[in-house]
Structure 1
């Protein structure tokens, strides 16, 4: 979740909730709740003196990492998914700040928000949050205090399922031990041998590297780095990502579909709150 903190901040400050950059495409629903939720929000905003256009965000393209072959293809270009956003800022699969900004800008409500002064914007965002809470209760039958509260519930639900179905999976635990031994043998640091920690180890290591490159005054903001400056880091990341995948071929073959199932279930339950 750390890599999207600034993406969420950007979206929420602009009055538009967004899901984590790596979240899967929402599963198809027999009855999509989003049109009704958007209409409730529009009516609610009108009652509070604001114009709001019901808007459903287009599906965001997501990388296929469901099989070993698909994961290898992804990692050959994007590594663990950290520095690729700086090397390929216009690529929607990189999860870059540029694609996030474009998504926000495409929302027709942004033109309306742009006409508000600071005081009006504050009232607008509070009203929109309250209207989203109202729509969530009426349509999804979920009690949340805010959109951010919904994000926290989504995170907690995901972590609970991961602990039970991945860290609690005996076969994955056994496969994780082999992956850890292979990585240690190649001189890689392995802080934990739990399946989820191992699956996130590479991303976490390179995300922490961006923190060391970021000016302390820019904490919480996207790293300011050119594609040319980021390329050596991505090349290193790709090398280590492919090494990690080869060490854990058996592990990832079992992990990938289980984790994709968890994300789809969680996103299917909480995604409509975020407009997905």
Structure 2
């Protein structure tokens, strides 16, 4: 960056303390129970809490001293800065990892392609996980819950998708859903605190039932899913905190 005429400070982020959310993502039963008792599947809690813990990245842009440098530039200078930074990042990735990328957008696409392939192979193709997911599905069906897919990733996403669809249905009735919106977009409806609390109570109960049925599944799924992310982060030269 300095060779391209920009001030840039070498910076490595400090690891943040692991939270219950981090532990829950790794399949820790007690942490999952604490998080789900409060937040359910992390859907309706967002209506009550816009600054949700799950949305707080381990490293924020404000932590990077170079953010202040960029913000001090004019719009034209910022565009030049971003172009220079992209080129320097591409060179760094190639030098460190040997990856042949044309831009950081290309790096993102390659990462996503590798991640999806690894998930399909190592999670949905894992015989032990498949068996545990099937058992979890049978348990939830026995409790009256709808189960559309018993693939490992399907079971891990089931609760979030169910309550996201419910929230989108409310938002749609209120005219807040864009035409042609896909299933991956979640719209926040207008709800009173009492209404949001009611939906959240239903969600937390469902999330705890899901956890009890999937206790063994999550204990196996969490570390394996985390292992894929850590391995690819290292392979692509990303930070692993």
Which position in structure 2 is the counterpart of 1:183?
140
What is the alpha-carbon distance in structure 1 between the residues aligned to residue 121 and residue 240 of structure 2? 28
Residue 134 of structure 1 and its aligned partner are, at CA, apart by 0.7
Which position in structure 2 is the counterpart of 1:79?
40
What is the alpha-carbon distance in structure 2 between the residues aligned to residue 129 and residue 46 of structure 1? 14
SS at match of 2:2: helix
Verify the 8 A CA contact 1:78 1:238 in the aligned structure 2. yes
Verify the 8 A CA contact 1:77 1:238 in the aligned structure 2. yes
What is the alpha-carbon distance in structure 1 between the residues aligned to residue 68 and residue 238 of structure 2? 22
What is the alpha-carbon distance in structure 1 between the residues aligned to residue 216 and residue 110 of structure 2? 32
Verify the 8 A CA contact 1:75 1:241 in the aligned structure 2. yes
Residue 132 of structure 1 and its aligned partner are, at CA, apart by 0.5
Which position in structure 2 is the counterpart of 1:253?
219
Which position in structure 2 is the counterpart of 1:50?
6
Aligned residue pairs: how many? 227
| Aligned residue runs from structure 1 range 120-199, under 5 A | 120-199=77-156
**Normalization by structure 2: what TM-score?**
0.77
Match of 1:68 among 12, 26, 29: 29
Q: Tell me: CA distance 1:230–1:133, structure 2 relative to 1, closer, same or farther (3 Å).
A: farther
What is the alpha-carbon distance in structure 2 between the residues aligned to residue 189 and residue 147 of structure 1? 40
| Aligned residue runs from structure 1 range 195-234, under 5 A | 195-209=152-166, 211-212=168-169, 213=171, 215-216=176-177, 223=188, 228=193, 230-234=196-200
Verify the 8 A CA contact 2:164 2:186 in the aligned structure 1. no
Structure with greater Cα Rg: 2
Q: Tell me: CA distance 1:206–1:143, structure 2 relative to 1, closer, same or farther (3 Å).
A: farther
SS at match of 1:81: coil
Which position in structure 2 is the counterpart of 1:268?
234
Match of 2:73 among 81, 106, 116: 116
| Aligned residue runs from structure 1 range 19-30, under 5 A | none
Q: Which moved more, 1:201-210 or 1:235-244?
A: 201-210
Q: Tell me: CA distance 1:247–1:221, structure 2 relative to 1, closer, same or farther (3 Å).
A: closer
Verify the 8 A CA contact 1:210 1:223 in the aligned structure 2. yes
**Normalization by structure 1: what TM-score?**
0.68
Q: Tell me: CA distance 1:124–1:269, structure 2 relative to 1, closer, same or farther (3 Å).
A: same
Unaligned ranges ≥5, structure 2: none
